Amino acid sequence: MAHASDLISNDIEAYLHQHEHKGLLRFITCGSVDDGKSTLIGRLLHDSKMIFEDQLAAITQESKTMGKAGEGELDLALLVDGLASEREQGITIDVAYRFFSTDKRKFIIADTPGHEQYTRNMATGASTAQAAVILIDARYGVQTQTRRHSYICNLLGIRHLVVAINKMDLVEYRQKRYQEICEEYRAFAKQLGIESMEFIPMSALKGDMVVNRSEAMMWYDGPTLTEWLEAVDVDADFPQAFTRLPVQIVVRPNLDFRGFAGTLEAGSLKTGQEITVLPSGKKTRIKGLYLAGDQVDRVTTQQAVMFTTEEEVDISRGDMIVAAEHPLLAKRVEVEFVWMADEPLVPGKEYLIKCGTLVTPGRIEKLGYKTDVNTLEQMQSEQLELNEIGCGVLNVNDALIFDPYTSLRETGCLIVIDRMTNVTVGAGLLRGKTDEEIMHAGRHYTEAERALNAYVREHFPEWCCKEI
């Protein structure tokens, strides 16, 4: 592959074509307070030549008045921490998104806050990430927030983790200290069931092992952070064995055309393929496929597509187009909640539930437990407070069409909306448990309720959770 700078100078059209067809990786940086997350992103942008001259001049000047890097040092964290309160305190408060690219790949970074009170912001950034960079200060090792953020990354299904042991310059680049932290983190990761991870020693402030290799750590022969990010294989994260397309809108420009549009979350579609419309269960075939107004024969995962059908079938927003293996259809499901509002989650209160493109009223019947993310202990609880995580049974008016979150993140999640303010107050991960499994778990319901459920399943099976 030709180097980008050479292509820009000699063949701009070839450069634009190459840039357009690069893969994209979304990742987050997370960890405890002052582990160097914003500085690391600033270093990535700086050393990959993704900072404009006016930006560099601005942070050079600002580093003199509000920089935290030391006398004469460039405070690269100022590139990411844009809020006045962030710069004054030297911390990250809101999620900051930045874009950069290398010759091999494009990247979108989410810089997430380290403070416990901003856990909801961290969960927001992690919800769309494919990889996570977990920073650890080499001086202090694994901290409470390191455990908290690792738990949330694992909970939200991030499969690619790199543990960046930062500030190695402050421990004299000692290999022994690096190995101690690796062992400490592996012991904690084993409790979460995390098996695959990469450890990289670095100094974001000095630039060691971020983009360029370090002469001070010749004992380390693994990849730099940039090399690891370029090599992460995320294609396997998008299942091809089944097809999922939540319908977002019905397109009706005139009397002679009726199409349906949405983003293909998994699998592929082609002209003439048989599809099933859920929840109705009606079957039809694809007549035409359109991408950005152009008719095509086939579309693949993560493409925004419009399609038409051979027969006139009733399809509307909130329906899902599927093929091959079908998802679950349920009105009562077990959900893991991340609560994001100052007002606590109230069992029995009615909220709006948005799952995919479907919006329906629903209520949390009862909480089973909440998880102490520091100790991983599950405790009985009547409600969830801000930033807390817990499990409960959700009951909705219209059946949710979903896959277990561990199978497909895009169709296995939901958000909880306050009906009065229209504010998102929580997020949920669908576990895929059926009514029967929920009832027989024994921690939510009485014997009388379980007996009633058995009667309903026997005499009115269409009311219960089922696989179409």
Q: Which pLDDT belongs to residue 396?
A: 94
Find the mean pLDDT for residues 415-444.
76
Of 278 and 451, which is predicted with more confidence?
A: 278
Per-residue pLDDT tens over the stretch 175-189 = 999 999 999 999 999
**H or E stretch including 20?**
helix 12-20
Find the mean pLDDT for residues 246-253.
94
Looking up tokens 């009547």, which residue turns up? 382
- Read off the amino acid at residue 200: I
DSSP code for 344: P
CB 271 within 8 A of CB 289: yes
Is the pLDDT at 403 greater than 60, yes or no?
yes
Q: Give the residue among 430, 426, 420, 440 at the shortest CA–CA distance from 394.
A: 430
CB 113 within 8 A of CB 144: no
DSSP 177-191: HHHHHHHHHHHHHHH
155 vs 391: CA distance, rounded Å: 12
Per-residue pLDDT tens over the stretch 195-220 = 889 999 999 888 899 989 999 999 99
Burial class (CB in 10 A: 0-12, 13-18, 19+), 32: buried
Pairing mode, if any, of strands 160-166 and 198-201?
parallel
154 vs 193: CA distance, rounded Å: 9
Per-residue pLDDT tens over the stretch 296-330 = 999 998 899 999 999 989 999 999 999 978 899 99
**Length reported for the chain:** 468
Omega before 347 within 30 of 0, i.e. cis: no
Domains in the chain, CATH or no CATH each: 4-235 (3.40.50.300), 242-324 (2.40.30.10), 328-467 (2.40.30.10)
| E-assigned strand segments in 345-423 | 350-355, 358-372, 377-379, 389-402, 413-417
Q: Which pLDDT belongs to residue 384?
A: 92
Looking up tokens 């303010």, which residue turns up? 421
CB 87 within 8 A of CB 81: yes
Which range, 152-156, 322-326, 348-352, 448-452, is most confident?
A: 348-352
DSSP, collapsed to helix, strand or coil, labels residue 64 as helix
Residues whose CB falls within 8 Å of the CB of residue 372, separated by 6 or more in sequence, listed in order:
378, 379
What is the phi/psi pair of residue 271, to 5°?
Answer: -60, 135
Q: Model confidence at 451, in pLDDT bands (50, 70, 90)?
A: low
Q: Which pLDDT belongs to residue 124?
A: 81
